Amino acid sequence: MSVYKHARVLITGGLGFIGSNLARRLVSECAVVTLVDSLIPSYGGNLRNIADIKDRVRVNVSDVRDPFAIEYLVRDQDFLFNLAGQTSHVDSMSNPQVDLDINASAQLSILEACRRVNPGVKLVFASTRQLYGKPDYLPVDEAHPIRPVDVNGINKLAGEWYHLLYNNVHGIQACALRLTNTYGPGMRVKDARQTFLGIWVRRLIEGKPVQIFGDGMQLRDFNYVDDCVDALLMAGASDATNGKVYNLGSAEVVNLRQLAGMLVPLVPGGSLELVPFPPDRKAIDIGDYYGDFGLFSRETGWVPKVDLAEGLKRTVDYYRSEHAHYWDAGT
């Protein structure tokens, strides 16, 4: 998109899964890209994610909880893709204040920094479908009641709303995308902190059975990371998105057993097993979910293009060759 040519773009969580894929695309469009990342080991940042573009981006290792670094970094930026977050639902329950500090408090200080030193910036915030909780109806559209089932959902919602509020009251252009399960090369696969698909891919490549919690009949939708990057860029390029929140999603809805059935054959000898739901996960499980992404499609023209079969293949191929950079065999 020509709007990004020579534009100055800041990405928080820029060494993470989605941030690094977004950076790669922006570099190819000749944007001037700065990545902020805390590189906290239990989060998603990994320098390997930008190995191929490291000479074409500026990396600033800092934490979004550091308001002074943020105030310096947001100056003179044209776009801010605000992707840094604590993503683990289970961690948010065992350490709720850390989740609040990153997903709510730091978001407010990022917006305050924009208000003070760069009110002309356009912000795109990565929110989550998790905040709908257990759906009342399917597909879930943006009018569905909000009902977070964990501390992470509450804090992400606060972070999202600060963005819309600063748009509405302070005139800082901002919108939010409620991402569903995003997957692809660069996702955290060391453990399940970012997506259960991560640990599935790791176990598969390690020759261990993929584990499905419960009966595996829960429906889900998935976006391949390139489609998610398309959505972020289209949201950033459009003035129509200001002050709004949109679902992403996919026309391809599968249950977890079907998903595992597509994934497992991609590695010779792959297998799967059903295991009982761990209690900490069961308490915050939401049953079936898939989203209605019609509003965002109509307003920006976005449609997901990479189907699950292709996306899963690309993902597994990536980690079969790259796994040494994403987990230690000993951990």
Indicate the residue among 20 and 107 with the shorter CB distance to a second copy: 107
Q: Of 171 and 265, which CB lies nearer to a second copy in the complex structure? A: 171
Question: How far is residue 248's CA from residue 44's CA, in Å, rounded to a whole number?
Answer: 21
Closest CB to a second copy among 214 and 261? 214
Q: Residues touching a second copy: how many (CB under 8 A)? A: 27
From the number of C-beta atoms within 10 Å of its C-beta (0-12, 13-18, 19+), residue 95 rates as: middle
Q: How far is the CB of 111 from a second copy (least distance, A)?
A: 8
- 5-13, 93-101, 120-128, 220-228 -> range binding a second copy (CB under 8 A): 93-101
Q: How many CA atoms lie within 13 A of 190 on its CB side?
A: 18
- Please, what is the minimum distance in Å from the beta carbon of residue 169 to a second copy? 5
Single out the residue of 231, 4, 5, 7 nearest to residue 124, CA to CA. Answer: 231
Q: Give the nearer residue to a second copy in terms of CB position, either 283 or 303.
A: 283
> Is position 271 an interface residue for a second copy (rule: CB under 8 A)?
no
The amino acid occupying position 258 is Q
CB of 158 to a second copy, least distance (A): 5
Report the amino acid identity of residue 210. Answer: V
Q: Cα(93)–Cα(240) distance, rounded to whole angstroms?
A: 36
- Which 134-163 residues touch a second copy, going by CB under 8 A? 143, 145-146, 148-151, 154-155, 157-158, 161-162
Contact 80, 174 (CB under 8 A): no
Give least dist CB 40 to a second copy, A.
20
The string of DSSP codes covering 81-116 is: EE------HHHHHHSHHHHHIIIIIHHHHHHHHHHH
Nearest to 202 by CA among 309, 328, 91, 298: 328
Q: Tell me if 235 contacts a second copy by CB under 8 A.
A: no
Among 228, 284, 308, 316, binds a second copy (CB under 8 A): 284
Q: Which is nearer to a second copy, 3 or 93 (CB)?
A: 93
Which residues, at least 6 apart from 2, have a Cβ–Cβ distance to it below 8 Å?
A: none
**CB nearer a second copy, residue 59 or residue 158:** 158
Which one of 108, 117, 262, 274 is in contact with a second copy (CB under 8 A)? 108
Minimal distance in Å, beta carbon 262 to a second copy? 32
CA distance 60 to 38: 9
Task: Please tell me the chain's helix, strand, coil percentages from 3-state DSSP, rounded to the nearest 5.
Answer: 45, 20, 40
**Rounded least distance, CB 91 to a second copy, Å:** 14
Instruction: Return the number of the residue (207 or 278) whose C-beta is nearest a second copy.
Output: 278
Residues that bind a second copy (CB under 8 A): 93, 96-97, 100, 104-105, 108-109, 112, 143, 145-146, 148-151, 154-155, 157-158, 161-162, 165, 168-169, 283-284
